[in-house]
Structure 1
């Protein structure tokens, strides 16, 4: 293991991504937009930078880019750890937690009961409420409100469902070891009735966690509304370790039915590439969406780390960032409904500088001006005779993080084997691939580069790869490259963001 000094570790602190000041974080929780503010809660150890003492940390933003860390929202105690969950605005005060003048926010979270509890060893669903807009929380005296006497029943995502005849709350949770999503409904958030189950299906190489269920119009057509069920799993991802998958289908208020299932029951390792993945990279996990996002937008964020090496990444005093927020939509690809993801990047007035190139011919390694530690890269490639072509970012000579396309294999990859510090864990150095086809003979990439990460959005977000990297602070060069022949770059923009 390579020792890294504290100043170098702190140099990895992201400029574009949220990370806590000096503690550990993992799964995003309780995402909601309320009274003009986005609230990001998350699994947090308030007392250190490794997993433990699970509580809900809290950060707020008005633009999804600049986040302000708030005090711990819901703290663990001698009876329970506070595991993942969600928050709803109970506008009609169905729970009775509100006042004459204020409708409450209600957190539905997993109580992971400790040995001192009468429910020791059990995971069950509990409530807390806030009447000051999500800054202070009171635990419900009647917790837990839903108990299956299971040690692996967790991660409730709750939303309001409006049927033709009635409206009610729907909870989507998991029996993690059974690879099963379980659905319940309630009229008051306190009493829950079982609706149905889904799974096992597609990827089951690890426990299922952090589900979500939401509607999206297909190709923007509101008359073709479909439902998307997301399920994260650890391990069992397409490139090893933790990851997230999704299913597209129908939800009638009781049952979710998938139309994109490839394999029922247990996972077929030979068919991993056929499953629908939220992200093909190693570092995009526990993705969930915001409730009540304005203008009907479906906005998601994920933990940017991997359980294989999460506690070993060389950062201090903080550990683990979040991904950028993504707006997701549903589009038709080769006759099938697929998610498309676009990073939310709407920051106006930011000081930036852009270096632009047109009609570059690339054969070998072509160093470029305009490299930076934090930048946005927009590039288009037209393959020629090259077997592989792409970019080397956060580079130093021929070393760096290589983002390459092999048109003959129909693949894009992120190679971080020479990305900087990779020796801190045996599982970190990797070459991670995803299927990718050209569109009218062209490949388009949007790449967000930060002090400790790259997020790649290919072909308008139809394929994404998210990866942590730990390069030397002075490794900031960018090069285009082609091997086994030449390729053309019709356009390339390198925009410095910090």
Structure 2
């Protein structure tokens, strides 16, 4: 029997279940009245500065997220005067939900960063001493790596930072393009006591993470080989390298390395954030991935929507690893100027290694649930009774995003579409469809998830890309669940 279930949550969401016998259980947490008083299009779930510009497509969101003396810190690209590039701003929080915006931590004023203080990462030395490595663009328009240290370690807000006078401490050599040399990672210590850090680059048609070593964090030596490289990618922006536990959902410090962990290498390219899982051998400074970037059509990504230039950090307070990413939106410059701001951060997510050891699991941090008193938080799960009715998947359907574009929410299948229409207008002319389809693939089932933004706005200048991904879910033994955080 085919059924269509429509379920309204104010004007927030519609539940769709076309062509499938489905039992849906849901929990709704909502109070949308407070939205009416907010500035147009601003969100409450996502971090963003009070006004003006935050980041652009070419750079990493943060000089670093970190936890220090009971306070969470975010350092990010910001212009306090307009919707264009400016300083590295600084905000702090006790709970990762409510933020206090401080004065900018750094701004371009030295020969080695006069054309911009750009992306980087925070490393915390033994003794709880934080330092920042960041990319500066010097007077020659070359990208170089610089160091800044906290001026007053007794200040939990770390409001003042001092640039290291001997900066730059790393410069492009050995044929490295000075325009493709940026975004140092959080550093880690090897068993020999030396610090390691990698920098994103591109050389001889290979994206790469250039490896450096240092005894004192000031004098760095480029290692003879990159930590890893690939001839199938372009420039690696905003690389990230960190361990994940094989036996626990807890996060681990960046310097942890033993048989109980694997290592994740992430790079931003092709407008997406890709990652691989593998084994790091510190004695040889060699990284062996289980499968490499762009090896197949099921490459691992953090996210399949607008999400780029991400960074993780280890939260020592709660022993978890938290992932942030930049959402660049899709409004025109005129719209950005009219609304007075541009750019925001993703919802912070806890990340850990799946039990399979092959990919990461992500989930919004627990603190986000405190916003359920004034925002929409919808959880839906689906169960199925006649999976054998699923249509067979065509072998040519290897691109999930293309498949979602061809089979939008308005096109009925045997098992699907079913999901939510988010922020749907009363007449359903404006909506964002988040839905699933199930296909039969020779005695196993393939679950496709789509986000159809073709009708998300009646404004023609807004990006209306449809995104899609195949899920590692077996509907014979698992429910298909969807959680949507709205605004």
Q: TM-score range by the shorter chain?
A: 0.7 to 0.9
Partner in structure 2 of residue 331 of structure 1: 354
- In structure 2, the CA distance between the partners of 1:349 and 1:207, relative to structure 1 (3 Å rule), is closer
Partner in structure 1 of residue 207 of structure 2: 179
Q: Separation in 2 of the partners of 1:181 and 1:342?
A: 27
Over the residues paired in the alignment, what is the CA RMSD in angstroms?
2.7
Q: Separation in 2 of the partners of 1:349 and 1:203?
A: 43
1:71 pairs, out of 103, 118, 135, with 103
SS in 1 for 2:187: strand
Q: What's the CA shift for 1:142?
A: 0.4
Partner in structure 1 of residue 380 of structure 2: 379
- Tell me, yes or no, if the aligned pair for 2:45 and 2:368 is still in contact at 8 Å: no
SS in 2 for 1:378: strand
- Tell me, yes or no, if the aligned pair for 1:160 and 1:167 is still in contact at 8 Å: no
2:327 pairs, out of 304, 314, 334, with 304
SS in 2 for 1:290: strand
Q: What's the CA shift for 1:25?
A: 0.9
Q: Separation in 2 of the partners of 1:407 and 1:256?
A: 40
Q: Separation in 1 of the partners of 2:422 and 2:168?
A: 49
Partner in structure 2 of residue 416 of structure 1: 453
Q: Separation in 2 of the partners of 1:292 and 1:167?
A: 23
Pairs aligned (count): 385
2:261 pairs, out of 205, 208, 225, with 225
- Tell me, yes or no, if the aligned pair for 2:200 and 2:235 is still in contact at 8 Å: no
Residue 109 of structure 1 pairs with residue 134 of structure 2: yes
Structure 2: runs of 5 or more not aligned? 1-35, 56-60, 250-257, 387-413, 440-445
Structure 1: runs of 5 or more not aligned? 1-6, 93-102, 237-241, 354-373, 451-498
- Tell me, yes or no, if the aligned pair for 1:313 and 1:319 is still in contact at 8 Å: no
SS in 2 for 1:156: coil
- In structure 2, the CA distance between the partners of 1:312 and 1:220, relative to structure 1 (3 Å rule), is farther
TM-score (norm 1): 0.71
- In structure 2, the CA distance between the partners of 1:19 and 1:216, relative to structure 1 (3 Å rule), is same
Q: Deviation above 4 Å: which 4+ runs of structure 1?
A: 308-315, 347-351
1:169 pairs, out of 189, 195, 198, with 195
Residue 445 of structure 1 pairs with residue 482 of structure 2: yes
Cα deviation digits, residues 441-474 of structure 1 (max 9, x gap):
5211122111xxxxxxxxxxxxxxxxxxxxxxxx
Higher RCO, Cα 8 Å, sep 6+: 2
Partner in structure 2 of residue 146 of structure 1: 170
Partner in structure 1 of residue 220 of structure 2: 192
- In structure 2, the CA distance between the partners of 1:438 and 1:182, relative to structure 1 (3 Å rule), is same
Residue 136 of structure 1 pairs with residue 160 of structure 2: yes
TM-score (norm 2): 0.73
Report the more deviating stretch, 379-388 or 243-252: 379-388
Partner in structure 2 of residue 289 of structure 1: 312
- In structure 2, the CA distance between the partners of 1:316 and 1:309, relative to structure 1 (3 Å rule), is closer
Residue 274 of structure 1 pairs with residue 295 of structure 2: no
Equivalent residue runs for 1:257-272 within 5 Å: 257-262=287-292, 271=296
- Tell me, yes or no, if the aligned pair for 1:31 and 1:289 is still in contact at 8 Å: yes
- In structure 2, the CA distance between the partners of 1:161 and 1:145, relative to structure 1 (3 Å rule), is same
Structure with greater proportional strand content: 1
